[in-house]
Structure 1
């Protein structure tokens, strides 16, 4: 099972590689279980400050494992399968350490939903990102309809969902779905560079920044600003805040410890 997702640590960045290239990195129950265990382990590893998710072979991920889905004999099995994907992707989205998806080839269906659960996305020029489930008579079921509508203009999200047609990397960048576009073959390097910059930040502030954006979007503005004020007041009392100010005065990078 461990072969479906490889983990490598590269200078405080954990690189998670979907490793089923013969199946275009289709996401099945084994991948979900492995991802969940990895996230639980890495969560408590102080040597890891950021994550990169990528795929082996010629694509990030073609989506959910249709072979596994076709073996189901009841709606309950499918519901449980989708529930597993949803839970794992929510765990990634709520993870206290920032994550970057490195997309090459294509990220489709459940593969795109995995990339959407990351904080940031880098895609190679020519890569395609889409939710083609409509062409199979179904819909994205692991957060795709909801995360797309929060990251894109609703009309664009609806077009992707209702037609099943993908966006290319350049169009996705124009619309804000992708943070950076890399040249062919360069997505992983660009994602690792971005994750490296994130890993240099103060861990408590990184986690708090994620929470403020993600949770604040569900609040009215006054409540969200109050939440922000309380959060930064807590950060003011940390050793990392003192180190950051000292490093600024000494004109050097901060050496943050997450305390």
Structure 2
């Protein structure tokens, strides 16, 4: 595996592309027409890939990046949800949150290569990474409230740890877009580079990390995770909040109106 650029068992992936160079695995969100919005299918593929590679002997680093014009436009709001039993709806709600938690527990160095839009669930994914290298066109945003839903996935807790409560509240409640050039965005990223320089810089960093002893990296990752938990303990599940607003008529109307406004702007 250490010299392979593709992995046969992942040849049939439709929402992701996966490659391995030495001890570095790269996971590319590959729905460029949808700005890599995370569907249930992508979430399932992420689970398989992270389960296989995140704990694979010899894999020391995982890079997450997006194909096309954006890193990730968040959760795919066109994904068909189950409308049947409470148990099926519960499974739907857990599909994405459980994948993000799995990524956050993987005993590897996790690196996000960001560009374009980093929205909602895409930000929650980036926040699971230890380091984030961003192109100079990167924009962070949380439009969930405009859609009539709260920002879930434990993202509020993670973002508060990074930005503090005031800026986090502004992004979530006012749906404020935070361009990477903003002073506060420096707390979200490791380094900002031109779009042209970004891939080479990430490769330089991850190649260097991949040469370090595996035991040393694993121990350091564990230490970093413990330090993060000491800084801000893991938040309790926010799933109830999603169920609370899911069937609220006013919230549904807010979301429908916002989607219609977006369609109107595109005409």
Indicate the TM-score class for this superposition, using the shorter chain for normalisation.
Answer: 0.7 to 0.9
Find the counterpart in structure 2 of residue 159 from structure 1: 170
Find the counterpart in structure 2 of residue 197 from structure 1: 208
Secondary structure of the residue aligned to 2:153 is: coil
Deviations 1:181-238, CA, capped at 9 Å, x for gaps? 0102333332222222222222222222222222234349xxxxxxxxxxxxxxxxxx
Decide whether aligned partners of structure 1 residues 139 and 192 sit closer, same or farther in structure 2, where only a CA change above 3 A counts: farther
For this pair of structures, how many residues does the alignment match? 219
Find the counterpart in structure 2 of residue 207 from structure 1: 218
Find the counterpart in structure 2 of residue 149 from structure 1: 160
Find the counterpart in structure 1 of residue 7 from structure 2: none
Following the alignment from structure 1 to structure 2, what is the Cα–Cα distance between the partners of residues 118 and 153?
Answer: 18
Q: TM-score under structure 2 normalisation? A: 0.75
Find the counterpart in structure 2 of residue 185 from structure 1: 196
Note the 1:16-55 alignment, pairs <5 A.
Answer: 16-55=27-66
- Structure 1: any 5+ residue segments left out of the alignment? 221-259
Following the alignment from structure 1 to structure 2, what is the Cα–Cα distance between the partners of residues 185 and 137?
Answer: 37
- Structure 2: any 5+ residue segments left out of the alignment? 1-11, 232-267
Find the counterpart in structure 2 of residue 106 from structure 1: 117
Find the counterpart in structure 2 of residue 91 from structure 1: 102
The alpha-carbon deviation at position 30 of structure 1 amounts to 1.0
Q: TM-score under structure 1 normalisation? A: 0.77
Checking the alignment, whether the CA contact within 8 Å between 1:32 and 1:85 is kept in structure 2 is: yes
Secondary structure of the residue aligned to 2:96 is: helix
Decide whether aligned partners of structure 1 residues 171 and 74 sit closer, same or farther in structure 2, where only a CA change above 3 A counts: farther
Following the alignment from structure 1 to structure 2, what is the Cα–Cα distance between the partners of residues 218 and 114?
Answer: 17
Following the alignment from structure 1 to structure 2, what is the Cα–Cα distance between the partners of residues 138 and 43?
Answer: 31
Find the counterpart in structure 2 of residue 6 from structure 1: 17
The alpha-carbon deviation at position 78 of structure 1 amounts to 5.3
Following the alignment from structure 1 to structure 2, what is the Cα–Cα distance between the partners of residues 179 and 74?
Answer: 44
List 4+ stretches of structure 1 deviating above 6 A.
none
